[in-house]
Amino acid sequence: RILVDGEPVTLLRSEAGLQAVRRLKQTPDGYLWLATRGGLVRFDEVRFSTFNASSEQGLESSTMQDMVIDGDGSMWVASLGGGIAHYKAGKFTSYTSRDGLPSNDIGSLYQDSRGTLWVGTRGGSIARRMNGRFETLPLGIPRSPISAFLEGRRPIAVDRNVRKRGV
């Protein structure tokens, strides 16, 4: 039994079928979501449910990279090869390069304080979702995978070599 600050902690193990967990998030309805290499996994404190491209309409890939919980309780999920999936009211909707993303290999997501969704690709491109549409931003510098975003006076994207890119 593991305790943190006197409270029991649930230990999630690979025996549960989890493969390379990339991100953990909890939605307002209490579910714990895990972005894994084998799909998106939902944990309800009793059982795991796996959502992947072969079982869910609206998921284009099963290799999940990142997640953002939107202010409305919905969830944005980044994937390799499948663009972004939006999970709302029990349904997935996919967004790919056909919808304005610069690539379908998405490595990172971030939602800023104004509600803008920022997208970082493994190819070093950055896009944002504004007014219901994705737009790619010109950077004019060498490209490498975007691994994180930081909000300040202006957003900053960080590539794996930890170079700052003002966007």
Task: Check pLDDT > 80 for residue 19.
Answer: no
Mean pLDDT confidence for 4-23: 68
- Give the pLDDT confidence of 24-55 residue by residue, as tens digits: 999 999 999 999 999 999 988 888 899 999 99
Sign for the pseudo-dihedral over CA of 111, 104, 101, 157 = positive
Distance separating alpha carbons of residues 13 and 61, to the nearest angstrom: 23
Cβ count near 14 (within 10 Å) = 9
Spatial separation of the C-alpha atoms in residues 149 and 159, rounded to whole Å: 9
Section 14-19 average pLDDT: 61
Which tops the pLDDT comparison, 125 or 144?
125
More confident: 150 or 24: 24
Residue-wise DSSP of the chain = -EEETTEEEPPP-GGGT--S--EEEE-TTS-EEEEETTEEEEE-SS-EEEE-TTT-TT---S-EEEEEE-TTS-EEEEEBSS-EEEEETTEEEEE-GGGT-S-SBEEEEEE-TT--EEEEETTS-EEEEETTEEEEEP--S----EEEEE-SSS-EEEETT--EEE-
User: Each residue of 88-125: pLDDT tens digit?
Assistant: 999 999 999 999 999 999 999 999 998 999 999 999 89
Q: Output the six-digit token pair for 70.
A: 């939107």
**What digits encode the pLDDT tens for the residues 158-167?**
665 554 445 5
Token match 């349904």: residue? Answer: 91
